[in-house]
Amino acid sequence: MNKINSIEEYHEEYSKSVRDPEGFWAEKADTFLWKKKWNEVLEWDFDAPSVKWFMGAKLNITENCLDRHLENSGDKVAILWEPNDPNESSIKLTYKELHSRVCAFANVLKRNGAKKGDRICLYMPMTPELAIATLACARIGAVHSVVFAGFSARSLEDRINDATCNIVVTADGGFRGAKTIQLKSIVDKALENCPSIERSIVLKRTGEEVKMEAGRDVWLHEELSRVDDVCPAEIMDSEDMLFVLYTSGSTGKPKGVVHTCGGYMVYAEYSFRNVFQYEKDDIYWCTADIGWITGHTYIVYGPLLAGATTVMFEGVPTYPDAGRFWDICDKHKVNIFYTAPTAIRALQACDISLVKKHKLDSLRVLGSVGEPINEEAWHWYNDEIGKGRCPIVDTWWQTETGGIMISPLAGLTPLKPSYATLPLPGIQPCLVDADGNEIVGNDVQGNLCIKYPWPSMIRTTYGDHNRCKEVYFSAYKGKYFTGDGCRRDEDGFYRITGRVDDVINVSGHRFGTAEIEAAIDEHENVVETAVVGYPHEIKGQGIYAYAICHDTNVDIALFIQEINKTVTEIIGPIAKPDKIQIVHGLPKTRSGKIMRRILRKIAEGDVSNLGDTSTLLDPSVVEEIKAGASLE
């Protein structure tokens, strides 16, 4: 069943996928349930850009996630949900139960006016209903746009408006560690400026008091009592939109990355099965939130397509204490565990007895995603969690790639700490130099591009196809540009070195520096600001903001508080700067461009060699910034 079993087989599969990509993917796609098979496997043009997979094919992804498993695995657990509070019971939903819950939810959506092609925003806590709502959208052919429930009302508003969603699904509130988040009131605030929204469907989770607006807001449980659980799957074209997911880039507002039904389905399942070397009856746990691409592909779609048991966790790694992940691994006998380096580093910094008191003997495969994993964290993960007997798959990929692109196959590919190692079959990475020339051979470094289409690649950016072309397909002609720098070592193994654009990765969350600058600029005392990333022990990168103020005679502690409040309101608490420095000027060239290279060096604390500063309009600002740098 599409599974590679040895490193030799990997190399064979890889060569085949390059020799005959269409034949290769047609064979993988053949194992799914299609209403109608394709006429043509692939049509592509990276200049347009236009990429179409399995043309003319008809399907519904939820029939592949649910219906097709009912006969043989209907009673198998599909979703194993672990609540925030360890004293609340976990919930097991079998494939049969999940199928019926998805169909009922789909009927609620229909009752509330949802139709094929509509965009539906999901702003929800990590409850089973979030996975169910996601699949319910796909069931009726509506496009889901999941917005991480840590984003602010403004961010939610922008995303709803960009995709002109007509329905939003939310909850009264969400539990996150010791805190609750008032989701419904955040939605209410956003909806003051969202004319396209006709309905909000509200899950009761925390039981807190909320305002329900007559004619707009309905309770999910009341709606569910009015529908049955029979809902035929909408027949979708392979290239119909499945979902949009917003992600930050180096300029402007976050863009809606669009994925389509057929190709995404094939690649989600294929990559899941092979990277993790999934075996029937494995308990699989990805700790991400469904609000990110990792949750879409490797909590919901990939595992369910493969008929696996996928664990969903509502809470945070440190509640009630920093042993919670390991508690859950033992409690549910997790075999495959997939998390982010930032979580590993945070837990590594806690008392080791929180790890030692757990057996962790069910674990077989460990995964890492979201940012480069430093060697120290890799070894700790390997030794303390994997006890030296679990391969670590360091998976490199992006919202735009839909699925894992470069990664070891667990137990098959030789491992090198901090290396994502080798591309999956069907993925053709290449490195390019500053002039756009491909760098051939090994022991080289350059910008990472992909030179051939793969089934789950981005199709467009919602509502603005030109932006998709500009951002991903214009830097290097005929290639998809990832925005990442990369080294290919003497063995041909890939190591991602980090972003080469103005995107920073804070605890695995992507932000454009321009996006954070725009938020800080909204503070009335800020004239101009420049934001850069700097190395941060736990978060990977921290956010360093340099701000020019109208009134420089401010109480700095108060000012920092206010900036944090502003950024929290405009983006969300995850984008708060770690350090803020008030400056009188920014290092600008004569043409007005901020020399971020200098600001990055100062933020890093490396002021000895700032490189060439001769093109600066006023070199004295650098001295002032150096002297006032907030280093600790």
Q: How far is the CB of 473 from ligand 7RM (least distance, A)?
A: 16
Residue 62 or 297 with smaller CB distance to ligand 7RM: 297
CB of 339 to ligand 7RM, least distance (A): 12
User: Smaller CB distance to ligand 7RM: residue 294 or 339?
Assistant: 294
In 3-state terms, what secondary structure has residue 27? Answer: helix
Q: How far is the CB of 125 from ligand 7RM (least distance, A)?
A: 20
Q: What are the backbone dihedrals phi and psi of residue 501, each rounded to the nearest 5 degrees, phi first?
A: -110, -165
| CA atoms of 390 and 439, how far apart (whole Å) | 34
Among positions 157, 484, 501, 502, the unique one binding ligand 7RM when judged by CB under 6 A: 484
Q: What's the closest the beta carbon of residue 540 comes to ligand 7RM, in angstroms?
A: 9
Please identify, using beta-carbon distances, which residue of 105 and 396 lies nearer to ligand 7RM.
396
Stretch that binds ligand 7RM, among 291-299, 471-479, 585-593, 595-603 (CB under 6 A): 291-299
Return the structure tokens found at 239.
Answer: 């290239």
Residue 166 or 418: which CB sits closer to ligand 7RM?
A: 418
CB 133, CB 164: distance < 8 Å: no
Report whether 584 contacts 552 (CB < 8 A): yes
Q: Determine the interface stretch with ligand 7RM among 6-14, 158-166, 321-329, 478-486 (rule: CB under 6 A).
A: 478-486
Q: Which is nearer to ligand 7RM, 458 or 567 (CB)?
A: 458
Confirm if 324 and 314 have CB atoms less than 8 A apart: no
- Could you tell me which of 107, 145, 139, 101 has the C-alpha nearest to residue 123? 145
- Which helix H or strand E contains 226, and what residues bound it? none
Nearer to ligand 7RM, 340 or 599 (CB): 340
Closer to ligand 7RM at the Cβ: 261 or 392? 392
- Name which of 175 and 270 has its Cβ closer to ligand 7RM: 270
Residue 485 Cα distances to 189, 236, 544, 601, angstroms: 40, 37, 21, 18
Q: Which is nearer to ligand 7RM, 271 or 399 (CB)?
A: 399
Distance of CA 202 to the CA centre of its chain: 24
Question: Whole-number minimum distance, CB 29 to ligand 7RM, in Å?
Answer: 23
The 397-416 site mask, x for binding ligand 7RM (CB under 6 A), equals xxx-----------------
User: What is the x/- site pattern for ligand 7RM, positions 242-281, by CB under 6 A?
Assistant: -----x----------------------------------
Choices 90-98, 177-185, 287-295, 383-391 (CB under 6 A): range interacting with ligand 7RM: 287-295
Q: Regarding beta strands 241-247 and 255-260, do their DSSP bridges make them parallel or antiparallel, or are they unpaired?
A: antiparallel
CB of 245 or CB of 530, closer to ligand 7RM: 245
Residue selected from 483, 512, 572, 577 as contacting ligand 7RM according to rule CB under 6 A: 483
Is residue 287 within 8 A of residue 343, CB to CB? The reply is yes
Tokens read off for 229 = 């659980």
Number of residues engaging ligand 7RM in binding (CB under 6 A):
22
The nearest distance, CB 298 to ligand 7RM, in angstroms, is 9
CB 495 to ligand 7RM: min, Å: 8
Near ligand 7RM by CB under 6 A: residue from 420, 547, 560, 575: 420
Rounded to a whole number of angstroms, the minimum distance from the CB of residue 518 to ligand 7RM is: 20
Minimum CB–partner distance for residue 288 and ligand 7RM (Å): 8
Enumerate residues 6+ apart whose C-beta is below 8 A from 482. 398, 400, 401, 447, 448, 449, 450
Which whole-number Å values give the CA distances from 425 to 220, 429, 540, in the listed order? 43, 11, 29
Rounded least distance, CB 470 to ligand 7RM, Å: 17
**Minimum CB distance to ligand 7RM, residue 448 (Å):** 8
For the CB of residue 269, give the shortest distance to ligand 7RM in the complex, in Å: 17
Query: Residue 480 burial by CB count (10 A; 0-12/13-18/19+): exposed, middle or buried?
Result: buried
CB of 250 to ligand 7RM, least distance (A): 11
What residues numbered 341-400 form the site for ligand 7RM, per CB under 6 A? Answer: 369-372, 394-399
Side-chain half-sphere exposure of 255, counting CA atoms within 13 A: 25
Instruction: Please choose, from the candidates 454, 111, 58, 116, the residue with its C-alpha nearest in 3D space to the C-alpha of residue 266.
Output: 454
- Residue among 127 and 482 whose Cβ is closer to ligand 7RM: 482
Angstrom distance (rounded) from CA 614 to CA 442? 36
Among 170, 260, 294, 507, binds ligand 7RM (CB under 6 A): 294
Closer CB to ligand 7RM, 199 or 296, in the complex: 296
Amino acid at 125: P
Q: Residue 235 burial (CB < 10 Å; 0-12/13-18/19+)?
A: middle
* CA 443 – CA 445 distance, rounded (Å): 7
Distances (CA, A) of 397 to 15, 436, 498, 559: 21, 22, 12, 38
Nearest alpha carbon to residue 293 among 427, 135, 147, 506:
147
**Which of 59, 61, 79, 293 is in the footprint of ligand 7RM by CB under 6 A?**
293
Q: How far is the CB of 483 from ligand 7RM (least distance, A)?
A: 6
Smallest distance from ligand 7RM to CB 399, Å? 4
Q: Which of residues 218-247 bind ligand 7RM (CB under 6 A)?
A: 247
Residue closer to ligand 7RM, measured from CB, 223 or 515 = 515
CA dist 87 and 591 (Å) reads 61
What's the rounded Cα separation, in Å, for the pair 275 and 307?
Answer: 16
DSSP H or E stretch at residue 620: helix 620-628
Give the torsion sign (CA, 476, 482, 485, 491): negative
Nearest to ligand 7RM of 432, 621 (CB atom): 432
| Distances from the Cα of 319 to the Cα of 173, 177, 178, 323, 328, angstroms | 18, 5, 7, 8, 12
Nearer to ligand 7RM, 134 or 395 (CB): 395
What mask of x and - would describe binding to ligand 7RM in positions 494 to 533, judged by CB under 6 A? --x--x-----x----x-----------------------
Give the number of other CB atoms < 10 A from CB of residue 624. Answer: 14
Site of interaction with ligand 7RM (CB under 6 A)? 247, 292-294, 369-372, 394-399, 420, 482-484, 496, 499, 505, 510
